[in-house]
Amino acid sequence: MSSLFRDDVANLARLARIEMSEEELVSLSNEFTVILDAVARVQEVAGADVEPTSHPLPLRNVFRSDVVIPSLTPDEALSGAPAQEESRFRVPQILGEEA
Amino acid sequence: MIHLSAAQMVAKLANGETTSVALTQAHLERINTVDADVHAFLFVDNEGALKQAAEVDAKRAAGEKLAPLAGVPLALKDVMTQKGIPTTAGSKILEGWRPPYDSTVVAKLKANNIVILGKTNMDEFAMGSSTENSAYGPTHNPWDLTRIPGGSGGGSSAALAAFEAPLAIGTDTGGSIRQPAAVTGTVGVKPTYGAVSRYGLIAFSSSLDQAGPCARTVLDAALLHEAIAGHDPKDSTSINAPVPQVVAAAKSGDVKGMKIGVVKELNGDGYQSGVRTRFEESLELLAAAGAEIVEVSAPNFEYALAAYYLIAPSECSSNLARFDAMRYGLRIGDVDGASAESVMNLTREIGFGREVKRRIILGTYALSSGYYDAYYGSAQKVRTLITQDFNRAFEKCDVMVSPTCPTTAFKIGEKSNDPIAMYLNDIATIPVNMAGIGGMSLPAGLAPEDGLPVGFQIMAPAMQDQRMYLVGAALEAALLTKWGAPLLSQAPALAGK
């Protein structure tokens, strides 16, 4: 029986950069007890002798020739920006005042 | 005119009986009449569609050589970027965003002069089986407006079933093309992974996502399949090989001597009786058409659902990190002195819906140190076992078949508070995505107990997509003979409109 507690969900939400209300933390942790039990079934057959598959195609590195091709103009790239300044994305403060 | 197949519309365009403008206008009028009830569309591009239609009519008048589907209208799932057209993936976090570029699928549609009517509703970021997870409200099944049209591509399937478009684009990560097709009595194909470019497809689970054609007939799906498939240097996982001859296969429908493998594990308990009745009947019709029916076993399929609900959330927790409120999309809480991190946290709280958050958290957990091997690692091993099951079965048969879904369309709201019950819808469709092979759903008739459509699923080995079309065309022809008219002529909810 696996379970996730409210504090575990709070930590995961912090890692995933999602603010969560107390109500949401509690209800998600309740749901996860059920969901984790269901998905933990994979452990029944995943023996040490089975190779993992990460992707359906057996691809190695895929290269293209190193030639310049048309790309978005600065205006196009900025067209969806929530805020911009001097042809750049304007973003909120990343480092603290003290840094 | 809107009740014709795309292939029939093509014939009328070619002999001058109609024009693309007239066809497009007829579909826009239909959308205007029924979409308040169905809610298949999130955005209707009246002006753009008519302009595109006028262009193709002019080309035809000038005697230009046109692509097979030139002038036929299409509905585009809102997960595909189209330059300048609102694209939301069913999420609030992208509300109002107009992409600065075309996805490769859209570029190919435009190159084929296929007219794009608008963007169709979907579960947010394609996470769901009912379209109830759309941030913009659910889509209603044209067979019964109180029921779900499937998901995540419920807008595309409902648009087809309501005759709002003869063609649509879907994407299929765990069944999002095939399950909506099944519950709306339409045709949906998930091609082999890598057959259709993912460039401009807003990513959910990159190793599983695959775009494909949705239509009302097998031939229409094949025509659209050939229009959108092919190698794309912009997608490093795109297959660099010739596109299988699916149109020829759909026109032939010859299954004499083909071996059709019935998957023992995808039937029986948990499958609605009417679903089983229609499935058995389809097998009899295929046998009568000259196919040999054999039984095959895939013992690891029972673990596919569990593996999927680890792999897809893991990949989505990474893919959806790009919605960070910095470069495009929603930004909340950007007040003086707010940190980038707090803006991200608030934006993602408001911008993402419940199911998306649930999966991001689950994926973050499955990938976290200390749990990685037990969850994500084990799921990857199950993926290997499922592929081995397919390989073994395909030694005994040319295609594998099953019901597409365990049940017919359920009521809107019926399963929305029970994630596990909702996930069970995809039990028969998920193995195909895990192995990266092709899968098709086509209508097998109505379940006697509720009068709702049942889907028949055909699975073919990678890069053998034409086999699905051979079998699909054979079954479709046999069923049409039996019914005397296409299944959708019986759809009741919109009669009289």
Query: How does B440-468 read in b/e, with b if 16+ C-beta sit within 10 Å?
Result: bbbbbbbbeebebbbbbbbbbbbbbbbbb
pLDDT band of A63, cuts 50, 70, 90: confident
Closest listed residue to residue B282, CA positions, set B399, B173, B172: B399
Q: Is B444 inside a domain boundary?
A: yes
Q: Is B398 inside a domain boundary?
A: yes
Residue B299: closest C-alpha in chain A: A45
Residue range B90-94: average pLDDT?
A: 98
Q: Is B322 on the interface with A (CB under 8 A)?
A: no
pLDDT band of A97, cuts 50, 70, 90: low
Q: Is B99 inside a domain boundary?
A: yes
ipTM reported for the complex, 2 dp: 0.93
Question: Given this model, what pLDDT does residue A86 score?
Answer: 94
Asked if residue B385 has pLDDT above 70, the reply is yes
* Sign of the CA dihedral with A2 first, then A55, B455, and B117 last: positive
Q: Test A80 with B385 for CB contact under 8 angstroms.
A: no
Catalytic residue among B20, B77, B317, B441: B77
Question: Given this model, what pLDDT does residue A99 score?
Answer: 46
pLDDT band of A98, cuts 50, 70, 90: low
Question: Given this model, what pLDDT does residue A1 score?
Answer: 44
Q: Give the least confident one: B102-106, B140-144, B403-407, B414-418.
A: B414-418
For residue B248, the tally of other CB atoms under 10 A from its CB is: 13
Q: Test A9 with B361 for CB contact under 8 angstroms.
A: yes
Q: Is B371 inside a domain boundary?
A: no
- Cβ-Cβ contacts under 8 Å, A12 against chain B: 361, 364-365, 368
Angstrom distances, CA of residue B416 to CA of B133, B412, B413: 9, 8, 5
Residue B133's DSSP bridge partners are none
Q: pLDDT tens for residues B263-299?
A: 999 988 889 999 999 999 999 999 999 999 999 999 9
> pLDDT above 90 covers what percent of chain B?
95
Residue range B11-30: average pLDDT?
A: 98
| B418 or B475: which leads in pLDDT | B475
Establish whether the linkage from the previous residue to B152 is cis, with ω within 30° of 0: yes
Q: Is B432 inside a domain boundary?
A: yes
Residues composing chain A = 99
Asked if residue B114 has pLDDT above 90, the reply is yes
Q: Is B418 inside a domain boundary?
A: yes
- At B272, which amino acid appears? Q
CA B482 – CA B494 distance, rounded (Å): 24
Summary mean pLDDT of chain B: 96
- Cβ-Cβ contacts under 8 Å, B330 against chain A: 82
Least CB-CB distance to B382: which of A28, A46, A59?
A: A46
Say how many domains are in chain B: 1
Q: Test A19 with B334 for CB contact under 8 angstroms.
A: no
Catalytic residue among B5, B20, B152, B416: B152
B489 CB contacts (<8 Å, ≥6 apart)? Answer: B3
CATH value at residue B418: 3.90.1300.10
Contact B104, B197 (CB under 8 A): yes
Residue range B45-62: average pLDDT?
A: 98
- Domain residues for B399? 6-301+383-490
Least CB-CB distance to A91: which of B194, B340, B366?
A: B340
Q: pLDDT tens for residues B426-462?
A: 999 999 999 999 999 999 999 999 999 999 999 999 9
DSSP 3-state of B56: helix
Q: Is B55 inside a domain boundary?
A: yes
Q: Is B469 inside a domain boundary?
A: yes
